[in-house]
Structures are given as structure tokens and as C-alpha cells.
Structure 1
Amino acid sequence: MGLCPHLPPPLPPPLSGRSFKDQITFFLKEKQAAGCPSFFWFFASFSVQVPCFLLWIMSIRRMSLEHHSGFDCGGTLWFQNLTEYSNGVLGPIFPLLIAGLHYSNVQISIQKSSFQELPDTLGSLAKGYAFYLQLLTLPILFITFNVPQGSLVYWFTNSSLTLIQKLCLKNPSVLKYLGLPVKKASATTPINDQRSNNEGPEIFVSTKQGKISAENLSPKELVAFSVKVLTDGHKDVAIKLLRLALKKDPGCTRALLIMGQTLLQKQELVEASVYLESAVSKLLVAGHPVEVEELDLLILSSQWAGIACMRQGKMDEGLFHLERLAQLKEPEDLKTKSYYYDGLIILASALLNMGRKAEALNHLSKAAAYNPAYHVYLKQCEEDSDDFANHLAKGYERFVS
């Protein structure tokens, strides 16, 4: 789990320009480069360690109960007889030690700070699992009072060695000696300072130079950090950074676009439309942009503004934004061109939903001429395929999933 926050997301992040296939390939490549084991390794380890532990402790328990030779006189200190259960004034020593070792191992293994680096859903599951492991301390304490002292000796030894192992693997020198990767502090993840003021908790950003208040960053830097935390699944933190960027520079169209995208993903459709339409307006103040970056922003803002309107049932307004794409000349830049034809596919989806099949076919023909992979959609549309209609009708939803 420690390496997961440093991996790219398996799904394409906003403005990445990557297809799903390219992003998965990139994810697997980075996963291999980071030395991340297979996801099945956890289950393989669990399937070996747990049965072995249970087999050994039950074997020792059975030997104790059956008075195996030497068990009744092979102990020491307060546990002279290993066949007996914990009893007397010194009886609770092993149960308390074992329960304490379990709790200590859990605390060392699962650090609360690492939860902040996980996406919201995964972070919640990790917190729940950590609470479950901590809660197991009480059943373990009860069980150890009902297990022969021979088993408790093994259990205590096993837990002690586990604790020593975990402490050693927390030491950078030991990790370096063993050739294992040393986990470094996150270089870009914003965190909330607990000191609150009238405007809420102050946001800090962790960099190689240390923690820096987000207030000291430029709008461009704030937008860059927002994209980073969005790829880690922290939408709420990204929104705070984007609001701060727009407070400093209300005309930052990239911040307006990403804010609209993020709000749309959170199903806050009305506010998302406001930001996206504002981005479109600012980009069109001086006419259609010719710079590659501004053209990218116009195409993406128009796409998302159209999607946001349609998801609110405002089909005409959504179509108005999408038809803006058809009025543009085919871009020369390859990345911009891919955005452009993605927009034509969404436009075709909207037109088909509104019964304007001829126009949808026209845009699909252009897209198929650019990318032969779209030809199957064109063919299905020409044949009035229900599968294609259903697929294309939901085409724009993939942008907000």
C-alpha cells in the first residue's frame, strides 16, 4: 500500500490527452518500475502465513492438552507447566503482552498519515480495516486466557519477532542494506493545517523544499497542484486550490475548466456549468483562439459545458456549445486534433438523441476518416443498430465517470 499513492491512476486524468489503453499501459509500466508486486502477492502471502500460524499454534495446543513429554515441566519463571491455562496473580502476563503486541503491530503497520494519500473510497476502506484490526485486540485478549501456556509462549515469540521485523523495516538504513526502496515523503500532496481561521483551515503544500502555504503560490502553480491531487482522487482539496487560484486570477481559464470538470464529476451540475461557460466566454473575448493551448481549452470547455447542460436536461444549450466545435477548422496539433474529434463524437451523440441522424452521420464520417476505429460506429449508425444508439447515447457519460 505504501507504493500505491506514487503510482499514476489506472484511468486517464483530466487534460492528460491519454486514451484508456494508453493510461493502463502507462500505469502498468510505472507499477513495474516502482517495484510494486502483483496484487495477487497479498493473497499468496496471506494464504501461506495464516494457515501456518494456525497449524502451528493448534499443534502446540494439542500437544499441551495431551501432556506431551516435557510440557508439564519444561517451562520457566511463572509458567513452569505449559499444559496449564493462565492462572494466578501472574497469569494475565502473557495475555496482556500478546494483546499489546498485536495492537502495536497494527499501529506500526497502518499509519493514519498514509490514508490522506489514498483516494476517498480506498481511504475509507483502509480506515475501516485499520479499526477492525485494532478492535481484534479485545477478542485476542479473551482467547489467550483460554489457551494453554505452551501455545502462549509460541504466540508471544511470533508476535515479538513480527514487531522487531516491522521496526527494522521502518529504518532507512536497514532498507538500504537489504536493497529495498526507501519511502520518501510526498512532494506534491497538499495537506490541511489543523489551525483554523475565519476562512477555514489553511492549506499547505509539501515540496522538496518543505511545506509551503498555498497562499504563497501563483495561480499557475495552484492549478498544477490541483491536477496532481485530482489524479490521487482528492477532489475536495483540488477544489480548494482552484478556488484560491481563481481568487488570485479570476481570468485563469485553465482553472475555470478544471473546476468545472471536477464539479461535474461531483454531480454539482449547475455550478459546473457556470465555471465552464465562464471559461468559454473568456476564451472567445477576442474571437476564436489560434494558440494551441487556448484552442485546447476552448475545445475541452465547449465539450464539458455541453455535457453539463445536457445532464440538466438543457439539450438546446448543450447542443449550442457542442456545435461550436463543428465550426472550428481541423487543428494541426495532434493532441488538439484528438480533442476535436472526441468533441465531434459527443456532438454526434447529442444529435442522434435529438433525431437528427443525417447530421450525426456527417460528423461521424469525419471522425472515421481521422481514426478508422470510429468506422464501426459509423457503420452501426447507418444500419440503425440499437447497440450503437445505446452506446452513443451514453457516449458523453464516460467523460464524467
Structure 2
Amino acid sequence: MPLTDHPPIPAPRTTYGAVLGSRHVARLLGGTLVGRLPNGMAPVAILLLITAGGGSLAFGGLLSALYALASALSQPVKGRLMDRYGQTLVSGPAVVLNSGSLLLLPAVGTAGHPSVPTAVVALAGLCTPPLEAGLRALWPSVLPDPGQRRVALALDTGTQGLLYIAGPLLVAALASAHGSATAIVVTAALGLFGTVVVLTTPTSRTWRPVPADHGDATGRLLSTGLVLLFVALAGVGFAIGGMNVWAVTMADEHEMDLLSGLLPAAFSTGSFLGGLIYGRRTWPGSNTGQLLYSALGFLAGWLPLLALPGPYAATAAVAVPGLFLTLIVTCGFMATDTLAPATRTTEAYAWLILSIGVGQSGGTALAGALAAHPLAGPALPTAGAAAALTVLALARPRLAAA
């Protein structure tokens, strides 16, 4: 009989329907999004609870910032533990302590010494479950095809900004209708529910860290390429932090309170749409090239805002750099996956998340200090984007080599 060639095996489809229809994908995405809602809800809920109980706005703001800071700084430690012991043994106890501490907060409130609610909030922040880094570690086992993983990453990253819009709005509605204590209870319940949904999936339950082999005996994580990548992403975070303060400044200047939320919402909407566009097709060039072009687009999007447009023009314009945010972060995660040792990928993802958060805090602080200068509002995001592009250009040989 004549020999015939076997037909090639078709590559998995990379449409949104195909990816979301893959086993466990929708459950993991949905559970992670619900479990991470407290990231946007808890700081606002804590602030409202303290002020409603007679505490000062300064003390409430301090506790709100403490929660966010403790959550961010503890991410790499929790990622390292997850790489060693798996997801269930880390996120399970973490979410119990996190939710339990939040539920305890209305009981301690502002009564007694301030150190008590401070300790409770610090514990809650330190014990936020590392769902974002954990989800990124699960994608290779859920979606072996790189194209489908790219779509899932774009979906995951693009919806992040929406959490920080929906979360505070939900807290405000709950506090207005049922009181600030109810908002705290719902925040704790959502975090617990979302984490349980993720941890009870077979993929998360059976996920095991990659054992260290003789070729990776040291498990060295922070190579020069990774450090430069994280520094560049800190510049991206700096731009976001500066933009948030600029939105408040614009609202005061034009006497339009809505602008303080509208500008970040437009930016986040642009990020969501950018993720949808990016995930719809396979783009030419390497991941490093896409990362650089995305950073260039991110910078170019901020430049028209230096002309100090009016509120409506600024709202429309700020969506343009938002379009490129998801692309940068998605390509950053893919580069991290390549550069980090296989035994410490979750920790590497956590460092990436932390670098953006640290940059955002720096941008917020500096923008607040320079808020009196009219040009500082749009100039600081532009400076952060320019720094990110510069560092990525310097890091290109190391990123491309990896």
C-alpha cells in the first residue's frame, strides 16, 4: 500500500469562545475575579467603617493605606511559599485569616486603643490570598497552547481595572443602604467565596510546584533581565498612580466631582478594550518586540494630555494609553515566564505585581506633592511611561536572548 502523509494536527483555536469553553477556564477566571474584588473594596470599606464609627478621616486613610501596602509587600513571600507547598496550603489558610480579620474589624472598630484595629487591618492585608499570581501559574497546565494562554492572560489582565471601579461602587452602595459594617461583611464573604471556587477546581487542587533539579540548584530568581523588566513595569505603575491623583485635581479645578472617578474609569475601559483587541488575533513579531511597541504606544497616548485639554477631551484621551496597558502587562507576564526559573514562577509573578504596585504608590505620592502645579498632572504619567520605554529598550538584548 502506498504510504500517505498524516494530515497535520490543527492548532487549538484561540477565539474567546474556545478559550472560555476550555475546561476550568471560566471557573478559574470567574473565581479569581470575585476573590480579588476585596482588593478594590476593602480599602474603601475600612475607611467608611472607621469614619462612621467616629474615627478621624486621617486614621481611616492610614488603615486603608496599610491594608493595601501589607497586601502588596507580602505577595512575593506568599508566591515563594506557593512554589514550595502548592496553592491549597497557602491560599486556604490565607483567605480564612483575611476574611476572619475583616469580619472582626466591625467589632473592634474605633473602640479602645487604635493599635487594635491597626493590628487587625495589618493581619488582613498580610493574609490576602495570592490569587493573581496563582492563576498565572495555573495557565500552562490548563491551556498548554501558548496562543490560548495569551488570550487568557489578556482577558485576565484587561478585567483588572474594572475591579477597582466595581469594587468601590459596590462598597458605596452597600454602606449607603445597609451601613459600613455590612460592606465589610460582604467584602470578606466575596473574598472567601472566590478563593474557595478557585481552590476547589481540580487544576488548583492537583497543581504541584516544579521540583528543583540539578540544573537549577540555586533557584536564583532575579536575573538582570527580570530586574530591568520589573523596573520598567514600576514606571507603568508610576503613570497609573499619577493619573489617579490628576483625576482628583481635574475634578477640583473644573468643579466636577464625577471626574475623579470618570477619568480612571475611562482609562480602565481602554485597558479592557485593549485586552479584547489584543486577544482576538495572533500578532507578528516576538514577545519582546510587542512589549516595546506597547510601551511606545503607552507613552504616545499620554503626550496629547500635556496640552491640558478640557474635562471631556481628557476623558476621551486617557482611554488611549489605557488601550496599551493590558498589552504591556500581558507581554510582561509572558517575559517573566521565560526569564524566571521553573521552580519559582509564582514568586516571579508576585514580584511583577509588586513592582507595578510600588510604582503606583510612588506616582500617587509625588503627584499629591506636586498637585499645585498645573502641568504635573499629565506630566508625571508621561514621565513614568517614558521611563518604562527607556528601561525596556535597554533591556531588549537580555529579553530577546531569553
Greater Cα radius of gyration, structure 1 or 2: 1
Same fold, TM-score > 0.5, yes or no: no
Greater helix fraction, Structure 1 or Structure 2: 2
Q: TM-score, normalised by structure 1?
A: 0.22
Higher relative contact order (CA 8 A, sep 6+): 2
Q: TM-score, normalised by structure 2?
A: 0.22
